[in-house]
Amino acid sequence: MKGFFSFFLGLLLSVSSVFAQEDSPDALVKKVTEEVLTIVRQDKDIQNGNTRKAIELVEVKVLPHFNFQRMTALAMGKDWNKANAEQKKRLSEEFKTLLVRTYSNALTSYRDQTIRYKPTKMPGGDADVVVKTEILQPGGKPIQLDYSLEKQSEGWKVYDVIVAGVSLVTNYRDTFTQEVRANGVDGLIQMLSAKNKQLDSGKK
Amino acid sequence: MALVAGLSGCATTANNPKDPFEGFNRVMFSVNEGIDVVVKPVAQGYDKVAPTPVKTGIGNFFGNIADIWIAVNSFLQGKPADGFSDIGRVLVNSTLGIVGLIDVASEMGLEKHAEDFGQTLGTWGVEGGPYLFWPVIGPRNVRDTFGFVVDVSADPVPHVDHVPTRNTLMGVRFIDLRASLLPADKVVEQAAFDKYNYIRDAYFQNRRSAIYDGNPPPLED
């Protein structure tokens, strides 16, 4: 009976450690990246610049792990608090569309790069981490690709993507601030939605 | 100076304190876009026609030459371990890697670094100064423009005596560099509301990160 109990306990511990490992932010980044790249490597359409197909892939595989509300707030800085609930929803929707597009478009440039995952320092109990990876490309310098994640009730969510030190999110800060200053929050919504419409009409 | 003042007058959105010459810079930016109308198709053709092993070899070859100056800058920035590793890269790649065509050193775990004199000045505490946009050379603040001049004077390629060889090397390297920027181009075209602004803001973030070797302290919100 005692043997059975310790066996059971051992099993329980190993199961929970598997779960803990699955849940860690660096494991999540690696899992999603590899899933996406495996598909891109086999998909000639995406490699030949089919953005629509790349967007579908990103929507299914990547999007659930992103927190777009947080991203929009980060892009807007102090102006985020000037928006009411309805405006926040629209801003996040439009900004999501734009980011998904940009990110998907980058995937169509994929050739034979491989990703190196750097060890992530996880101070105990920290709910906010940066997972560092590197894009290794033959004949070129490695490109840093970092993800900022925060822990939420449903697991870790990405709220920033940083390529070669450039945040795809905060790089909009000055542009958004200027627009809000000139035309208010609704002006920014307008600007984002016009941009998305324009990109959509040129979609392959 | 009058020219600069006159040109800044045509700026519509000049309110970035780091970019006091926005009007002038935007003119240079459009000059550069004009030059790129010719350069970009050449880079695209090269990217399409050259087989991957050839492009990799060319990138490695020039990367190996660049590693010498990268080593010097690693030492100047007080990173002797990186500096020795950079020298090791040059020695390994120039010999085992057949004049640098194969990056054997990376396979051996000697990581490639990216250093230049502008970064060295940055780590010494030299402020960036106003932002400038140069045709062909692209975005550089005053510090990095000066750094670039030093980088060029330390570059062995322009000092090759045989003129046709020198011109070929310079030309191939330039096209290879332009081709390596094609994917980023595609992203910027899509992501940017205003290409000039997007590139400028990305330049600020990229340089700040480079000076801190990829680990910049967080900015205030």
- Global ipTM: 0.83
What's the length of chain A? 204
Q: Which of A2-16, A86-100, B121-135, B191-205 has the lowest mean pLDDT?
A: A2-16
Q: Is the minimum CB–CB distance between A143 and chain B shorter than 8 Å? A: no
CA atoms within 13 A on the CB side of B167: 2
Q: Is the minimum CB–CB distance between A175 and chain B shorter than 8 Å? A: yes
| pLDDT level of residue A121 (50, 70, 90 thresholds) | confident
Taking residues A73-92, what's their average pLDDT? 96
- CA B125 to mean position of chain CA atoms: 20
Give the span between the Cα atoms of A150 and A161, in whole angstroms: 13
For chain B, list residues with pLDDT below 50. 1-12
Q: Between the CA atoms of B37, A112, A39 and B178, what dihedral angle is there, to the nearest 10 degrees?
A: -10
Contact: A165, B201; criterion CB under 8 Å? no
More confident residue, A112 or B175: B175
Contact: B201, A175; criterion CB under 8 Å? yes
Exposed/middle/buried for residue B144 (C-beta within 10 Å: 0-12, 13-18, 19+): buried
Give the span between the Cα atoms of B34 and A143, in whole angstroms: 28
Q: Is the minimum CB–CB distance between A30 and chain B shorter than 8 Å? A: no
Exposed/middle/buried for residue A189 (C-beta within 10 Å: 0-12, 13-18, 19+): buried
Give the span between the Cα atoms of A43 and A73, in whole angstroms: 34
Contact: B193, A191; criterion CB under 8 Å? yes
CB atoms inside a 10 Å sphere around CB B180: 17
Give the span between the Cα atoms of B26 and B194, in whole angstroms: 11
CA atoms within 13 A on the CB side of A106: 19
Smallest CA–CA separation between A86 and chain B, in Å? 24
Which pLDDT score, from 0 to 100, does residue A201 have? Answer: 84
| pLDDT level of residue A14 (50, 70, 90 thresholds) | low
Which pLDDT score, from 0 to 100, does residue B220 have? Answer: 59
Give the span between the Cα atoms of A33 and A41, in whole angstroms: 12
Q: Is the minimum CB–CB distance between A199 and chain B shorter than 8 Å? A: yes
Q: Is the minimum CB–CB distance between A201 and chain B shorter than 8 Å? A: no
Identify which of B81, B71, B85 has the alpha carbon closest to the alpha carbon of residue B117.
B71
Q: Which residues of B touch A (CB under 8 A)?
A: 13, 15-16, 52, 55-60, 63, 103, 106, 111-112, 114, 180, 182-183, 186-187, 190-191, 193-194, 197-198, 201-202, 205-210, 214, 216, 221
pTM of this prediction? Answer: 0.86
| pLDDT level of residue A66 (50, 70, 90 thresholds) | very high
Smallest CA–CA separation between B184 and chain A, in Å? 8
CA distances from B126 to A60, A123, B216 (A): 46, 33, 16
Identify which of A185, A179, A175, A174 has the alpha carbon closest to the alpha carbon of residue A80.
A185
Taking residues A122-143, what's their average pLDDT? 83
Which pLDDT score, from 0 to 100, does residue A6 have? Answer: 62
Q: Is the minimum CB–CB distance between A164 and chain B shorter than 8 Å? A: yes
Which pLDDT score, from 0 to 100, does residue B14 have? Answer: 54
Contact: A139, B56; criterion CB under 8 Å? yes
DSSP secondary structure, A20-71, as one string: HHHHSHHHHHHHHHHHHHHHHHH-HHHHTT-HHHHHHHHHHHTGGGB-HHHH
- A144-176 tens-digit pLDDT: 999 999 998 889 999 999 999 999 999 999 999
Q: Is the minimum CB–CB distance between A98 and chain B shorter than 8 Å? A: yes
Contact: A106, B186; criterion CB under 8 Å? yes
% of chain A beyond a pLDDT of 70: 86
Which pLDDT score, from 0 to 100, does residue B193 have? Answer: 95
Give the span between the Cα atoms of A141 and B61, in whole angstroms: 12
- B107-130 tens-digit pLDDT: 999 999 999 999 999 999 999 999
